[in-house]
Amino acid sequence: MRSLSLFFLLLLAINECHSAGCSYTEEMMSQNSKKYEHFLKTNIKQINNGFSINISAPSLLNDSELQQAYIVKFDDSNKKEIFVFPISMYEENMYLSGWFNIDASLFDNIFLYVDYGKGCGFSVRKMIEK
């Protein structure tokens, strides 16, 4: 029983070491966004009472594969998330692409986030502007 307790304690310690070795700060996100945001493409078209936004991103960036893309709508102060939704991506011309439609009244303070790499990967953020 004692060896089983030691085993679980060792697993917990390994997990804590791994978790402590992988952190991603807002400053790191800002740096990566400045470096890579030009790879994230947006095409905005006005439709009826809103907008259709097409996005594309490289499937591989800095030797890391695209894991997910999502949209975040913030409040006017850019501090509180109003909603978050994932973008379903499909392959097109060496890029991964996706789209969404949004009502004109909601089209401000919207950001595209794209996550690359597994485990301790990195994210790129780009503001979507009219």
Give domain status of residue 8, yes or no: no
pTM listed for this prediction: 0.80
- Give pLDDT tens digits for 18-70: 445 678 888 999 999 999 999 999 999 999 999 999 999 999 999 999 999 99
Give domain status of residue 10, yes or no: no
Give domain status of residue 3, yes or no: no
CA dist list (Å): 113 to 1, 6, 65: 47, 41, 14
- Give pLDDT tens digits for 69-95: 999 999 988 889 999 999 999 998 879
Give domain status of residue 75, yes or no: yes
Count of structural domains within the chain: 1
CATH value at residue 95: 2.60.40
Residue 96 and residue 92: Cα distance in Å, rounded? 6
Give domain status of residue 92, yes or no: yes
Give domain status of residue 14, yes or no: no
Domain span at 80 = 24-128
